[in-house]
Amino acid sequence: MASSLRLNSTLKLNDGLSIPRLGLGVYLTQSADAIKHALQFGYRHIDTAQWYENEEVVGEGFKASGMKREDVWITTKIWDTNHGYNQTTKTLDESLKKAGLDFFDLVLIHSPNPGKEKRLETYRALIDAKKQGKIKSAGVSNYGVHHIKELLAQFPNDPPSINQIEISPFFQRKDIVTECRKHNIALQAYSPLGKGAFVDRPELHKIGEKYKKSPAQVLIRWSLQQDFIVLPKSSNEERIKANADLYDFELSKQDIDTLNAMETGKGVTWDPTKAP
């Protein structure tokens, strides 16, 4: 069955912006070439963070790609130790400088771990940065249901556009997904491949064989068909290409049901969504 999704398909956010549905995760990537190749191959979205210490590398790769700034979506995230109004403002300026950019498309609070007061002040700084044109969109990451409720109670007129969390068929986060959807907050799925741990699973091979696709492609396609924005990470040119070769097939309802039945309730990374 032909797929209506394309590599340049976007999702409309609650602030009116359109974000590319597939992004390149760059945790641990220190190769500007990897970023350049991804953009030349057709990716239009790169997801970095202060914590990854590669905002410079992302900026370099973007410049080397020759792409126009308005054609590429670039996200960063405010790290836990940079929470608070002043520190967020200061380090956001530093991140822009490191990346060599005038603005970020999206800035997320990386985690709720620093506590209520800090995360609300951090978000206030992001809203002000948005008014100043330093960022286009403000969101959160690793927020649980209670963090989302807390944020919406404090900023009813400036809801986050996105919550980026670990999601895969093995860890579907239904409570968080339901809460975000109730408020039109888009979901970004990180570690869709379980940090690589899921790519040899025989049950995924079996599904993939029907479409001549790999387990990684099945997992990424599952995320797209759940209406998530998906962020597979790779710094390998071949795998970067393969992870975007998703648009000539569509998982059947039966295969989606089979994948949905793989829930384990456990993730493979940290889980700040339970932080007080």
For binding to ligand A2P (CB under 6 A), which residues are involved?
Answer: 25, 191-196, 199, 216, 232-236, 239, 242-243
Q: Which is nearer to ligand A2P, 45 or 233 (CB)?
A: 233
Output phi, psi for 235, to 5 deg: -115, 10
Phi/psi region, residue 141 (left: phi>0; alpha: psi -120 to 50; beta: rest), is beta
110 labeled part of a ligand binding site: yes
Q: Which is nearer to ligand A2P, 188 or 235 (CB)?
A: 235
Give me the residue whose beta carbon is nearest to ligand A2P. Answer: 196
Cα(133)–Cα(120) distance, integer angstroms = 20
- The active-site residue out of 43, 52, 143, 190 is 52
CA distances from 153 to 33, 115, 149 (A): 43, 16, 6
To the query of whether residue 85 is one of the catalytic residues in this protein, the response is: no
**Nearest distance from residue 230's CB to ligand A2P, in Å?**
9
Between 116 and 195, CB nearer to ligand A2P: 195
Backbone angles phi, psi at 57, to 5 degrees: -60, -40
User: Which residue, 76 or 91, has its beta carbon nearer to ligand A2P?
Assistant: 76
Beta carbon of residue 209, minimum distance to ligand A2P (angstroms, whole number): 16
User: Which three-class secondary structure state does DSSP give residue 134?
Assistant: coil
19 and 106 Cβ atoms separated by less than 8 Å = yes
Least distance (Å) from ligand A2P to the CB of residue 6? 20
How many Å apart are CA 240 and CA 226, to the nearest integer? 21
What is the closest distance, in whole angstroms, from the C-beta atom of residue 166 to ligand A2P in the complex?
8
**Cβ 256 vs Cβ 228: under 8 Å:** no
| CA distance linking residue 214 with residue 216, whole number of Å | 5
**What is the number of other CB atoms lying within 10 angstroms of the CB of residue 149?**
13
CA distance 33 to 144: 35
Token readout for 69 is 């700034």
Coil/strand/helix, residue 224: helix
Q: How far is the CB of 3 from ligand A2P (least distance, A)?
A: 18
CB neighbour list of residue 147: distance below 8 Å, 6 or more residues apart: 112, 119, 140, 273, 275
- Of the pair 51, 85, the CB lying nearest ligand A2P is at 51
Residues in binding site: 110
The residues annotated with a catalytic role in the active site are 52
Mark the binding-site residues for substrate, compressed into ranges. Answer: 110
